[in-house]
Amino acid sequence: MADRPSDVTTLASDLIRIDTTNSGDGTCRERPAAEYVAERLDDVGIEATVIESAPGRANVVARIDGTEPDRDAVLVHGHLDVVPAEPADWQVHPFSGEVRDGVLWGRGAVDMKGMDAMMLAVVRAWMREGRRPRRDVVLAFTADEEASAVYGSDFLVREHADLFEGCTEGFSESGAYTFHAGDGIRLYPVGAGERGTAWMRLTANGQAGHGSKVNTDNAVGALAAALARFDQHEWPVRLTPTVRAAVEGIGTALGIEVDTDDPAFDADEVLAQFGPARQLVESTLRNSTNPTMMQAGYKVNVIPQTAVGYVDGRVLPGMKDEFESTVSELAGPRVHWDYEHTEVPLSADVDSSTFAAMADALTAEDPGAYVVPMCMSGGTDAKQFSRLGIVGYGFSPLQLPPGFDYQALFHGIDERVPVGALDFGVRVLDRFLTTVG
């Protein structure tokens, strides 16, 4: 059995009360949370290493020996930092960790101190009950995921790769939660891929001058035209193996015939039949480029020489060449583009015994549910760990009631999670980690 239900709730609540806000300006301090995690591991005899990448920017890594040491090890990781929260906007103070009517409130409840607490609760139960997983399990609690990961997983991969020796698969956030698809149908989307990050800077140079004069070489105009092209561009559908399997799996659950090999297959037409379940795949059918920022000028009657814009691009696995050639066309000859930040796309095997073990653990706790793969539209620390050859899955199990909008609570106001969902997650995570071969 997993740790008593109160343990995971207490752990999550305590972590939420430790303010680890990451504004992206370098002021975040994860160290108090890292020390808390290390102490909770030490309580049950697990040796943990606290590793600072800069003053206050701390990570925690621990290894638990399995009963079958010849097998590959697995990595279970969660980040300790959270995005900012404005208390005045919340019903409950975002760093109170308050439990109200069976629901735990606070920044990080779903992203992702709840998962951190589940990780701790599972391994603490193992130690108390004298149980072990089959494979070595490496736990990593990281800094800076909500920014660039430079102080967290990126640092660990560059400077402490030895701590992850033998790890071939990793498990972390954003998958294995209940998605209610209508008519009582429950889906559990498990992350088996991520689009790549392609944040771009667009720069237009032109002729500076007086705002009242004719100017045929206006940098602001050139940039605005390019950004409008990015905004209006319709990227073509490109079915990756993960998304193909997701579309087919959702179709099966909903009783909708889907043949992705049919030359007449129309992804948008199929998604129109999926109802609310369309949101599990609609953002990952294509590459994307969304303009997000513009910087130009300093006075209304002065035409600036330079204008800069930023575009949030996301790239499907295997689509980098097509993406870059299209971006160059959209930018046009007047605008230069380069990467502000880039990270690789990821893809994991959905036909693996590991994926089957995750599905078995979920359906053992929720019989009659359907487990489907999912490609995540954004990114996680799995991108950094992939440099060590670790295949990443999104597996942070939660059983959620109908009407609970899990995705909207990521970085949202009034972030919260039912206590029962955390208890469910502990049971599923325990079952999976002790049975996966």
DSSP string, 23-54: -SSS----HHHHHHHHHHHHTTT--EEEEEEE
The CATH number given to whatever domain includes residue 12 is 3.40.630.10
Which residues are within 8 A (CB) of 89 and not within 5 positions of it... i.e. 6 or more apart? 413
What is the rounded distance in angstroms from the CA atom of residue 52 to the CA atom of residue 74? 23
Residue 376 pairs in a beta bridge with 194
Long-range contacts of range 227-234, CB-CB < 8 Å, 24 or more positions apart?
227/202, 227/291, 227/294, 227/309, 227/311, 229/330, 229/331, 229/332, 230/289, 230/290, 230/291, 230/311, 230/330, 231/290, 231/291, 233/289, 233/326, 233/330
Classify residue 273: in a domain, yes or no: yes
For residues 326 and 388, state if they share a domain.
no
Q: Give me the catalytic one of 145, 169, 248, 415.
A: 145
For residues 22 and 159, state if they share a domain.
yes
For residues 159 and 229, state if they share a domain.
no
For residues 112 and 75, state if they share a domain.
yes
For residues 313 and 277, state if they share a domain.
yes
For residues 21 and 154, state if they share a domain.
yes
Scored b (16 or more CB within 10 A) or e, 4-32 reads: ebebbbbbbbbbbbbbbbbeeeeebbbbb
For residues 101 and 149, state if they share a domain.
yes
> Is position 81 annotated as part of the catalytic site?
yes
Q: Return the residue matching tokens 């030895």.
A: 162
Q: What are φ and ψ of residue 397, in 5° steps?
A: -65, 135
Q: What pLDDT, on the 0 to 100 scale, is given for residue 385?
A: 98
Classify residue 427: in a domain, yes or no: yes
Residue 105 pairs in a beta bridge with 416
Single residue among 343, 371, 405 that ends a domain in this structure: 343
CB atoms within 10 A of CB 124: 22
Q: What pLDDT, on the 0 to 100 scale, is given for residue 378?
A: 84
**pLDDT tens digit at each of 437 positions of the chain:** 443 446 999 999 999 999 999 999 999 999 999 999 999 999 999 999 999 999 999 999 999 999 999 999 999 999 999 999 999 999 999 999 999 999 999 999 999 999 999 999 999 999 999 999 999 999 999 999 999 999 999 999 999 999 999 999 999 998 999 999 999 999 999 999 999 999 999 999 999 999 999 999 999 999 999 999 999 999 999 999 999 999 999 999 999 999 999 999 999 999 999 999 999 999 999 999 999 999 999 999 999 999 999 999 999 999 999 999 999 999 999 999 999 999 999 999 999 999 999 999 999 999 999 999 999 988 899 999 999 999 999 999 999 999 999 988 999 999 999 999 999 999 999 999 999 98
Classify residue 398: in a domain, yes or no: yes
Element (H, E) at 125: helix 113-129
Element (H, E) at 357: helix 353-365
Domain encompassing residue 90:
5-174+380-435
> Is position 322 annotated as part of the catalytic site?
no
Classify residue 36: in a domain, yes or no: yes
Report CA-CA distances (Å) from 207 to 130, 218, 289, 402: 73, 6, 28, 57
Q: What pLDDT, on the 0 to 100 scale, is given for residue 105?
A: 98
For residues 331 and 223, state if they share a domain.
yes
For residues 137 and 245, state if they share a domain.
no
Classify residue 95: in a domain, yes or no: yes
Classify residue 96: in a domain, yes or no: yes
User: Which 3 state secondary structure label does DSSP give 101?
Assistant: coil
Classify residue 351: in a domain, yes or no: no
Q: Give me the catalytic one of 7, 30, 81, 146.
A: 81
For residues 303 and 418, state if they share a domain.
no
Q: What pLDDT, on the 0 to 100 scale, is given for residue 1?
A: 41
Classify residue 143: in a domain, yes or no: yes
The CATH number given to whatever domain includes residue 322 is 3.30.70.360
- 3-state SS of 207-256 is CCEECCCCCCCCHHHHHHHHHHHHHHCCCCCCCCHHHHHHHHHHHHHHCC
Q: What pLDDT, on the 0 to 100 scale, is given for residue 6?
A: 62
For residues 170 and 220, state if they share a domain.
no
User: Which 3 state secondary structure label does DSSP give 415?
Assistant: coil
Q: What pLDDT, on the 0 to 100 scale, is given for residue 198?
A: 96
What is the rounded distance in angstroms from the CA atom of residue 415 to the CA atom of residue 104? 9
Instruction: Tell me how many domains the chain contains.
Output: 2
For residues 270 and 220, state if they share a domain.
yes
